[in-house]
């Protein structure tokens, strides 16, 4: 039977309780769990994950839970490397803190992520085994099954690249990476873990591609940089750049098919690029001699000089990019259409001339920008049909005439 009372009686209860226990916040609740006040609560939450019981000393259900909560504290708070603190807050002492966390009944049990940005409210059974299993499942992840799984997959773990804030940029700078952004407490991440290990093992001997993971509870800088908002998030990187987000089935077969398709696309693009290089007669000289018609290749060496006295519509691209490949024939047609006009249609391969693309704030492929006399005029965001692209060029030619 739950205790309930009217608002005046609650006020009287709180006052009476605070008088009796003002100097004994742990009375009847043991000392193994950490007692928080307003200040220590913030410090504790900032340090690591916390499982917190909000209670009132007069509450019958709180008293019943107190010995169990104390035992839970003995289990986890004595571990040197424990990722979770078992704590408690006396709401008759810390009324403002409990109000801030919308505590409306006792006991209220909440699991706070490190930093306190998110939490989960526990509403399961309150026996020690149930509480312990919850902590193991949501936070620690080191129950007997997990330990056996880790021991059985030591060799697979060697195939899986572990990324951090410190090594991310240098590690993914060259080659293809399929990366899992995850949190240890995430249920979906745990379900995916053995499949992800298996995927890493599948490509362990394959050159040019790596399967990796990064813990977003530890490597917050990188996860924020790539706007990871849910777990797990699976992203494909090529030579340091984010290319795509995977949103399909998480079965081994589906993931393998995706990796194979991405590798095939990249390989095909490189082959096409190599063949184009072989058929070029005078690639660099052409850029300087013929400035009208045909798509002109711009490089780190000639980008600024070439743009300095012209109207130039530039496509920033990557050879492996599917959207870029679909645009390529249209871009060639556009160059042929405007041949004879005072405009040049050009392109920059961002895998070869990264500094140019970085300087022009290229964040995705293809990026289309028009320049006049070396100055950026506008980004093109419209349809990539030939008619719309030609109309955009004409509008900018007319603006030049008006000037």
Domains and CATH numbers, the chain: 34-138 (3.40.30.10), 161-270 (3.40.30.10), 296-399 (3.40.30.10)
Choice among 27-31, 52-56, 118-122, 126-130 with the minimum mean pLDDT: 27-31
By the 10 Å C-beta count (0-12 exposed, 13-18 middle, 19+ buried), 263 is classed as middle
Closest C-alpha to 10, from 145, 74, 105:
105
**Residue 71 pLDDT level (bands cut at 50, 70, 90):** very high
Q: What mean pLDDT comes out for the span 374-380?
A: 93
pLDDT, the chain, mean:
82
**Residue 379 pLDDT level (bands cut at 50, 70, 90):** very high
Instruction: Please determine, for residue 317, whether its predicted confidence score (pLDDT) is greater than 90.
Output: yes
How high is the pLDDT of residue 370? 95
**Residue 18 pLDDT level (bands cut at 50, 70, 90):** very low
Choice among 104-118, 156-170, 215-229 with the minimum mean pLDDT: 156-170
Catalytic annotation on 324?
yes
* Higher local confidence (pLDDT), 271 or 364: 364
Q: What mean pLDDT comes out for the span 314-334?
A: 91
Pick the catalytic residue from 59, 91, 223, 321. Answer: 321
113-115-121-124 Cα dihedral, nearest 10 degrees: 40
Instruction: Please determine, for residue 16, whether its predicted confidence score (pLDDT) is greater than 50.
Output: no
Which parts of 29-175 are beta strand (E)? 34-35, 49-55, 84-90, 108-112, 119-122, 161-163
Report the run of H or E that residue 379 belongs to, with start and end: strand 375-379
Q: What is the pLDDT of residues 240-291, one digit of tens each?
A: 999 999 989 999 999 999 998 888 877 765 655 555 455 444 444 433 433 3
Q: How far apart are CA 273 and CA 268, in angstroms?
A: 9
Q: Looking at the chain, how many residues does it have?
A: 403
Pick the catalytic residue from 189, 216, 223, 357. Answer: 189
Choice among 151-160, 182-191, 194-203, 296-305 with the minimum mean pLDDT: 151-160
How large is the C-alpha radius of gyration of the chain? Answer: 30
How high is the pLDDT of residue 294? 82
Q: What is the pLDDT of residues 121-162, one digit of tens each?
A: 998 899 999 998 888 887 655 444 444 444 444 444 468 999
Q: What mean pLDDT comes out for the span 24-35?
A: 72
Instruction: Please determine, for residue 179, whether its predicted confidence score (pLDDT) is greater than 70.
Output: yes
How high is the pLDDT of residue 288? 41
Start-to-end Cα distance in the chain: 84
How high is the pLDDT of residue 378? 92
Is pTM, for the whole model, over 0.75?
A: no
**Residue 2 pLDDT level (bands cut at 50, 70, 90):** very low
How high is the pLDDT of residue 268? 61
How high is the pLDDT of residue 403? 47
Pick the catalytic residue from 186, 216, 223, 350. Answer: 186
Pick the catalytic residue from 62, 223, 324, 350. Answer: 324
Catalytic annotation on 321?
yes
Choice among 79-83, 151-155, 261-265, 292-296 with the minimum mean pLDDT: 151-155
Buried b (16+ CB within 10 A) or exposed e, 143-152: eeeeeeeeee
Q: In what order do the strands lie in the sheet with 375-379?
A: 296-297, 344-349, 311-317, 367-372, 375-379
Q: What mean pLDDT comes out for the span 208-218?
A: 93
Q: What mean pLDDT comes out for the span 171-184?
A: 94
How high is the pLDDT of residue 73? 92
% of residues, the chain, pLDDT over 90: 56
């Amino acid at each position: 039977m739950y205790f309930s009372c009217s608002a005046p009686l609650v006020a009287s209860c709180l006052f009476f309780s605070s008088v009796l226990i003002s100097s004994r916040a742990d009375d009847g609740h043991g000392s193994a769990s950490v007692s928080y006040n307003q200040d220590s609560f913030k410090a504790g939450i900032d340090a690591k994950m916390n499982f917190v019981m909000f209670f009132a000393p007069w509450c019958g259900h709180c008293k019943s839970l107190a010995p169990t909560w104390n035992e839970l504290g003995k289990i986890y708070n004595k571990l040197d490397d424990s990722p979770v603190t078992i704590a408690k807050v006396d709401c008759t002492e810390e009324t403002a803190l409990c109000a801030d966390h919308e505590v409306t009944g006792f006991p209220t049990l909440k699991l706070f992520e490190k930093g306190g940005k998110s939490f989960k409210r526990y509403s399961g059974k309150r026996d020690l085994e149930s509480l312990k299993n919850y902590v193991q499942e949501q936070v620690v992840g080191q129950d007997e099954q997990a330990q056996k799984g880790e021991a059985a997959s030591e060799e697979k773990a060697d195939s899986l690249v572990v990324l951090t804030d410190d090594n991310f940029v240098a590690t993914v700078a060259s080659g293809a990476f399929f990366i899992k952004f995850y949190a240890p407490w995430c249920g979906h991440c745990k379900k995916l873990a053995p499949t992800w290990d298996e995927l890493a093992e599948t490509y362990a001997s394959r050159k040019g591609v790596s399967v990796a993971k990064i813990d977003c509870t530890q490597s917050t800088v990188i996860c924020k940089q790539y706007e990871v908002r849910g777990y797990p998030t699976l992203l494909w990187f090529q030579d340091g750049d984010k290319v795509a987000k995977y949103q399909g089935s998480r079965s081994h077969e589906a993931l393998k098919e995706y990796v194979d398709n991405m590798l095939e696309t990249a390989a095909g693009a490189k082959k096409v690029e190599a063949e184009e290089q072989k058929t070029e007669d005078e690639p660099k000289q052409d850029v300087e001699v013929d400035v009208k018609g045909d798509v002109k290749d711009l490089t780190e060496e000639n980008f600024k000089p070439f743009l300095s006295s012209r109207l130039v519509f530039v496509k920033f691209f990557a050879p492996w990019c599917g959207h870029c490949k679909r645009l390529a024939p249209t871009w060639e047609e556009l160059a042929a259409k405007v041949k004879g006009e005072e405009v040049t249609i050009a392109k920059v391969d961002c895998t070869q001339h990264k500094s140019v693309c970085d300087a022009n704030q290229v964040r995705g492929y293809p990026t289309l920008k028009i320049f006049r006399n070396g100055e950026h005029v506008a980004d093109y965001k419209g349809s990539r049909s030939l008619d719309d692209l030609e109309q955009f060029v004409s509008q900018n030619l007319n603006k030049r005439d008006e000037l």
